[in-house]
Amino acid sequence: MSEPIRIPAPDGVAPAAQYSHVVTATGRLVAVSGQLALDEDGKPVGVGDPAAQARQVFENLSRCLAAAGAGFQDVVKMTYFVTDMAYMPAIRAARAAHIPDDRLPAASAVRVAGLVAPEFLMEVEAIAVVAE
């Protein structure tokens, strides 16, 4: 039986930096909506602090994945929405606390004019596949 999640290296494509170009997976799909830096009471965390917001976002992602019987080891795709690309190092640092470099998911980073409220600097969504 092959592994449920594989990260093949495509020929003729420049090496990926901080993500994987391709991830294949077999199993049950888990889609996690974009998470903001909100605490469990719905209050903003780390206003003006990208590192604090990124940590909270990844904590929220972790809790959402767990509720679906998944974890970061099952994530195959992440999308980062940021109001300033300068926040990407904070996101990468928070991600590194949950996902090892050899298991980086496919990813997209999109700079946006704004999110649902001005205090939010980023929103992150995830797609995971859980082996059956």
Q: Which of 46, 130, 61 is nearest to 98 (CA)?
A: 61
For 18-130, give the CATH class: alpha beta
pTM, two decimal places? 0.92
Cα dihedral sign, 75-79-81-84:
positive
Amino acid at position 16, single letter:
A
pLDDT by residue, tens only, the chain of 132 residues: 467 888 998 999 998 888 999 998 999 999 999 999 999 999 999 999 999 999 999 999 999 999 999 999 999 999 999 999 999 999 999 999 999 998 999 999 999 999 999 999 999 999 999 987
Between CA 123 and CA 79 the distance in angstroms is: 8
For the chain, domain boundaries:
18-130
